Amino acid sequence: MDPSSEGDFTEFYDATWPRTVACAYAMTGILSDAEDLAQEAYSRAWPRWSSLREYDDPGAWVRQVATRLAVSRWRRARTSLGFLARSREPEPAAPPSETTAALVAALKQLPEPQRRAIVLHHLGDLPLREIARIEQCPEGTVKARLSRGRAVLATLLAPQDGEPSHA
Interface with another protein by CB under 8 A: which residues?
Answer: 6, 9-10, 12-14, 17-19, 21-22, 25-26, 31, 34-35, 39-40, 42-48, 61, 64-65, 68-69, 72, 75-84, 87-88, 91, 93-94, 96-97, 99-100, 103-104, 118, 122-123, 133-134, 136, 150, 153-154, 157-158, 165-167
Nearer to another protein, 80 or 162 (CB): 80
Q: What contacts 116, CB < 8 A, 6 or more positions away?
A: 27, 67, 71, 135
Cα(81)–Cα(65) distance, integer angstroms: 15
Cα(41)–Cα(64) distance, integer angstroms: 9
Minimum distance from CB of 140 to another protein (Å)?
Answer: 19
Nearer to another protein, 10 or 140 (CB): 10
Minimum distance from CB of 143 to another protein (Å)?
Answer: 15
Continuous H helices in 29-118: 31-45, 49-52, 58-76, 82-87, 98-109, 112-118
Q: What contacts 134, CB < 8 A, 6 or more positions away?
A: 64, 68, 120, 126
Minimum distance from CB of 70 to another protein (Å)?
Answer: 12
Minimum distance from CB of 82 to another protein (Å)?
Answer: 4
Cβ atoms of 60 and 125 within 8 Å: the answer is yes
Nearer to another protein, 10 or 109 (CB): 10
